[in-house]
Structure 1
Amino acid sequence: MFHTTQLQLQCLLAVLFMFGASAHWHSIYRNEMSSSHHDYGDALSKCIMFFEGQRSGKLPPNQRIKWRRDSALSDGSAQNVDLVGGYYDAGDNIKFGFPLAFTTTMLAWSVIEFGSFMGSELQNARASVRWATDYLLKTTVHPDTVYVQVGDPNADHVCWERPEDMDTPRTVYKITKDNPGSDVAAETAAALAAASIVFQTSDTAYSQLLLKTAIRVFQFADKYRGAYSDSLKAVVCPFYCDFDGYQDELLWGAAWLHKASKNHSYITYIQTNGKILGADENINEFGWDNKHAGINVLVSKEFLLGKVSSLETYKGYADDFICTLLPQTTSAHVPFTSGGLIYKPGGSNMQHVTAISFLLLAYANYLGHSSQHVQCANMEVTPATLRSAAKLQVDYILGDNPVKLSYMVGYGQHFPKYIHHRGSSLPSVIEHPSHISCKEGSQYFFSVNPNPNVLVGAIVGGPDMNDQYQDNRPNFRQSEPTTYINAPLVGALAFFHGHPEF
């Protein structure tokens, strides 16, 4: 249990001021923080459990979310390839390869960076990674080919039906040397490489297979350059269109391959191609589409630990990114709600909150291990400052916010009950064994009743810029959970679980 001392409260208030929170939010913290506490271990367990609710394929005997059943057991059969498994990305029934690969990378990074604080949940975290990588290995089984999507999203999105009942086309889409997709291929390589580190000691043979495949897939991504949304625009846009180009994924993939293989040629690749591939693009976001901030944080570790002095530039890039998160500096760009939440216009804002919070904590670790700090104009930013900033975001998600709502389903007394999620909102196969067709599900979509199945651990898109949240299914921008919201939060929750004194 976390207890806030007077000194810690003062530090948190100072950080709140640093982040430009309103006087109203200051008053909330003065009144509430002395008794505020969160069970980060419980939140971590639920955050990982969420992925079991997103599973596609044949479910294992130890499946903990019991209202789910087997689904999509014929995926890939039309192409004579086994594509059974993986995760549905959000509240729909499509397997989108681009966000799935990023989700896998972030789950793996969470285990690599903070697995030592996960305790008994480490086994479940590894299982969540392996469910994804088992699938990604299937998608990369053929040379110079990556199967990047299963399911017709246009047909799927006009239906409201359980994954167990799907009768929409399970069309398979792929990238090849003739129709390249360096973005999704390089992200897949990053995911496999990162996961190979996760299993280095627990399953050596599997780890080696992941790394070997990652190397091959990265070579394909680099040799045949292009964005996957150019050739697959009709089915990946506007859902997961590559808006920021494939260049960042190539650097991201190379960074993870170096970390996994220790092969210096990947550092040479980054040094040679960095400028060409936009390494100096200091865009203050990080997520499934834009990896620049993540690259800078990950690569800067090599410099901070004294391993590769020529990568000092990346430390500067990472510092610049951190400074954009501090409103009182001249480089501030990231807006916050009056309640103190990072806010970027568009849908699913929590994806930015969790990903940036993770980077703050990872970079704090790297700075701490090397006894360094960040200099933002005339302000010195320490690892403790970054951890405090991340904690404010995590605590906001868990209920320390103006509406006193936990944005994690199943955590706390008050959480979203009407999430935009097919399986959660329709009666389970247990309760309703007969088939529910595409349009028959509409009655449940528009129902005024809460979702009958609790998708434990799901983080929804979150509140609007005024800290207000509409708990209703049609409002998908606020009420839909996604795998890439949860994945980085796994690492952040693990850190705070391991540091109850913080």
Structure 2
Amino acid sequence: MEFSFFIFKPLCQYYLRLLLLLLLLLLCVNYNSQLGAIASFNYGEALSKSLLYFEAQRSGRLPHLQRVKWRESSALTDGLQQGVDLVGGYYDAGDHVKFGLPMAFTITMLSWSAIEYADEIASAGERRHALEAIKWGTDYFLKAHTHPDVLWVQVGEGSTDHYCWQRPEDMTTSRRAYKIDSDHPGSEVAAETAAAMAAASMVFRTWSPSYSALLLRHARELFEFADRRRGRYDSSVPAAKGYYPSLSGYGDELLWAALWLRRATGDSQYLDYVVNNAYELGGATWAVSEFSWDIKYAGLQLMAAKLLMDEGPKLSTHQRRILEEYKSKGEHYVCACLNLHRPSNNSRANKNVRRTPAGLLYVRQWNNLQYVSTAAFLLATYSDHLASAGLFLRCPTDAAVPSAALLSFARTQADYILGDNPLRLSYLVGFGHRYPSRVHHRAASSGGGGGDFVGCTEGYHRWFGRNRSNPHVVVGAVVGGPDSADGFRDVRSNFMQTEACTYNTAPMVGVFARLNREINSAIASI
């Protein structure tokens, strides 16, 4: 008996420990499987890197706390020939022209991200960087708006800039500045800049009330100018036409700016403007399947839908009816992204957005990811608005689409960008193990610095044409992305796919913040 007992006791302890280890292992496997099911990527890291990108795009005198060390101050005499200080702002892409329309849209989208997901950005430790990214743009707009009816909208010329391949610190190209005024109107860029400043005023309302009020004053003036002196900006500034032409006209920007001013001020005059101009400016009639620096209809229509959800009972019957038409057209866009319009035998009449074989939204071959990033943002935010209102999305092929389906699809697009694609390549530069290494970007692809000056065309021989990876990684840049068959050529000269733009990354700031919250909430519930 004693012998049996002393053998049995350690055996019991051994099997008990083994059982505990097995239970612990099963719990870990279950936890990891649940975690893997909800967290394909580190969205917090993607958020941080996307904000870092804007420091690589800065023009002007760089601050002491500049984190992108391979960049230096540049374009310090912008506006000097015209007697105005236009130092600052952002380069839009891989070249060095400062185009006002895409720059303003970038700031609007950054501000919208910071408004919708302020808590998420703060919890990720990125509030200061988000504010700095927005302020770098709005500080420049304040300089550029020198008179109620004068806005400087471009510095540099695409023709001469594209002739050279230099670091911005070495620029020898024309820095001629262009403006719009009462005699040379530009409603698109004036209204978009008004929208950017109105949205930014909401971001800074808590942190700097005086700065917020200053932005709002300029936004009001610019909107009034854009509406009173209506005209296409690319007619007044022909130098912009070959690069950022306004194909949609200025109706969408006027309505967009009015909605942002209504949201920033609560002033009824701006809601009246949106309602009274719904048909003339196309807000209640245009049903589109893309959202970009040029075409704002989907964004403004979904903002109008949010206004209707939030304030419906307070509105008049006429206001509700018109906003319902905005909402219907905005949901046309959402349903098109989700492929929930009824198929048509006529390909030209197909209302759904095309997709690549791997499921990426595909609008056109040139810089397609700009349309993907804006779609992901609109679907993520509209998902939240539907959920808050307890509503479903109505699409032609479905009786009711739950709000979660919109966020789920937005996540598939974000995940594709981060590497969940056939090439296993991250299109967010600097994220993951594989990403484009030959980004079409003059500063990142050029060496130099410390007095090593490279001339205008010399850069093409010395830097552009070489097959090696760029000496600098432009972290956080979202490049143009794959073609319609999910193919991608990482070649510097392949600018349709390898060039990155500020307005590609700006919407992803909000998307990554939203998805990071989703992951954190899911982890906490495990």
Tell whether the 8 Å contact from 2:365 to 2:484 is kept in structure 1 after alignment.
Answer: no
Q: In 2, Cα distance between the equivalents of 1:203 and 1:36?
A: 36
Q: In 2, Cα distance between the equivalents of 1:114 and 1:428?
A: 39
Tell whether the 8 Å contact from 1:182 to 1:221 is kept in structure 2 after alignment.
Answer: yes
Residue in structure 2 matched with residue 302 of structure 1 by the alignment? 307
1:89 matched to 2:107: no
Q: In 2, Cα distance between the equivalents of 1:148 and 1:252?
A: 18
One-letter amino acid matched to 1:413: H
1:492 matched to 2:511: yes
Residue in structure 1 matched with residue 139 of structure 2 by the alignment? 134
1:288 matched to 2:293: yes
Tell whether the 8 Å contact from 2:110 to 2:509 is kept in structure 1 after alignment.
Answer: yes
Residue in structure 2 matched with residue 77 of structure 1 by the alignment? 80
Once the two structures are TM-superposed, the CA of residue 156 in structure 1 deviates from its matched residue by 0.2
Once the two structures are TM-superposed, the CA of residue 274 in structure 1 deviates from its matched residue by 1.1
Residue in structure 2 matched with residue 29 of structure 1 by the alignment? none
2:483 aligned residue (453, 464, 471): 464
SS state at 2:487 partner: coil
Q: TM-score, normalised by structure 2?
A: 0.88
1:442 aligned residue (460, 473, 483): 460
Q: 1:287 to 1:203 in 2, by over 3 A?
A: same
Once the two structures are TM-superposed, the CA of residue 326 in structure 1 deviates from its matched residue by 2.5
1:61 matched to 2:64: yes
Tell whether the 8 Å contact from 1:115 to 1:491 is kept in structure 2 after alignment.
Answer: no
Once the two structures are TM-superposed, the CA of residue 306 in structure 1 deviates from its matched residue by 3.0
Residue in structure 1 matched with residue 194 of structure 2 by the alignment? 189
1:213 matched to 2:233: no
Tell whether the 8 Å contact from 2:59 to 2:89 is kept in structure 1 after alignment.
Answer: yes
1:165 aligned residue (152, 156, 170): 170
Tell whether the 8 Å contact from 1:351 to 1:461 is kept in structure 2 after alignment.
Answer: yes
Residue in structure 2 matched with residue 411 of structure 1 by the alignment? 431
Q: In 1, Cα distance between the equivalents of 2:96 and 2:298?
A: 30
One-letter amino acid matched to 2:392: H
2:266 aligned residue (256, 262, 265): 262
One-letter amino acid matched to 2:338: L
Residue in structure 1 matched with residue 207 of structure 2 by the alignment? 202
Greater Cα radius of gyration, structure 1 or 2: 2
Q: 1:313 to 1:437 in 2, by over 3 A?
A: same
Q: Where does structure 2 lack aligned partners over 5 or more consecutive residues?
A: 1-28, 344-350
Once the two structures are TM-superposed, the CA of residue 315 in structure 1 deviates from its matched residue by 1.9
Residue in structure 1 matched with residue 51 of structure 2 by the alignment? 48
Tell whether the 8 Å contact from 1:5 to 1:34 is kept in structure 2 after alignment.
Answer: no
SS state at 2:221 partner: helix
Question: How do residues 389-428 of structure 1 correspond to structure 2 at under 5 angstroms?
Answer: 389-428=409-448
One-letter amino acid matched to 2:383: A
Once the two structures are TM-superposed, the CA of residue 34 in structure 1 deviates from its matched residue by 5.3
Once structures 1 and 2 are overlaid, which stretch shifts more, 362-371 or 319-328? 319-328
Residue in structure 2 matched with residue 249 of structure 1 by the alignment? 253
Aligned residues: 474
Residue in structure 1 matched with residue 15 of structure 2 by the alignment? none
The percent identity for this pair of structures is 45
Q: 1:193 to 1:4 in 2, by over 3 A?
A: farther
Residue in structure 2 matched with residue 334 of structure 1 by the alignment? 353
Report Cα offsets for 1:214-236 as digits up to 9, x if no partner.
Answer: 00010000000011111222x11
Report Cα offsets for 1:322-365 as digits up to 9, x if no partner.
Answer: 11123243174200000110011231001000001000011111
Once the two structures are TM-superposed, the CA of residue 246 in structure 1 deviates from its matched residue by 0.7
1:107 aligned residue (107, 110, 132): 110
Q: In 2, Cα distance between the equivalents of 1:153 and 1:217?
A: 26
Question: How do residues 349-388 of structure 1 correspond to structure 2 at under 5 angstroms?
Answer: 349-379=368-398, 380-388=400-408
SS state at 1:252 partner: helix
Q: 1:367 to 1:5 in 2, by over 3 A?
A: farther
One-letter amino acid matched to 1:138: K
1:473 aligned residue (482, 489, 492): 492
SS state at 2:52 partner: helix
Tell whether the 8 Å contact from 1:424 to 1:454 is kept in structure 2 after alignment.
Answer: yes
Tell whether the 8 Å contact from 1:68 to 1:428 is kept in structure 2 after alignment.
Answer: no
Report Cα offsets for 1:217-263 as digits up to 9, x if no partner.
Answer: 10000000011111222x11220011110111000000000000110
Q: Where does structure 1 lack aligned partners over 5 or more consecutive residues?
A: 10-32
Tell whether the 8 Å contact from 1:244 to 1:290 is kept in structure 2 after alignment.
Answer: yes
Q: In 2, Cα distance between the equivalents of 1:428 and 1:105?
A: 34
Tell whether the 8 Å contact from 2:190 to 2:225 is kept in structure 1 after alignment.
Answer: yes
Once the two structures are TM-superposed, the CA of residue 313 in structure 1 deviates from its matched residue by 2.2
Q: In 2, Cα distance between the equivalents of 1:5 and 1:263?
A: 50
Q: In 1, Cα distance between the equivalents of 2:94 and 2:240?
A: 16
Q: TM-score, normalised by structure 1?
A: 0.92
Tell whether the 8 Å contact from 1:458 to 1:481 is kept in structure 2 after alignment.
Answer: yes
Q: In 2, Cα distance between the equivalents of 1:151 and 1:277?
A: 31
Q: 1:8 to 1:222 in 2, by over 3 A?
A: farther
SS state at 1:306 partner: helix
Q: In 2, Cα distance between the equivalents of 1:66 and 1:6?
A: 38
SS state at 2:311 partner: coil
Q: In 2, Cα distance between the equivalents of 1:306 and 1:77?
A: 48
Q: In 1, Cα distance between the equivalents of 2:367 and 2:291?
A: 13
Higher relative contact order (CA 8 A, sep 6+): 1
1:344 aligned residue (348, 358, 363): 363
One-letter amino acid matched to 2:434: H
Q: 1:78 to 1:232 in 2, by over 3 A?
A: same
Once the two structures are TM-superposed, the CA of residue 318 in structure 1 deviates from its matched residue by 1.8
Q: 1:5 to 1:239 in 2, by over 3 A?
A: farther
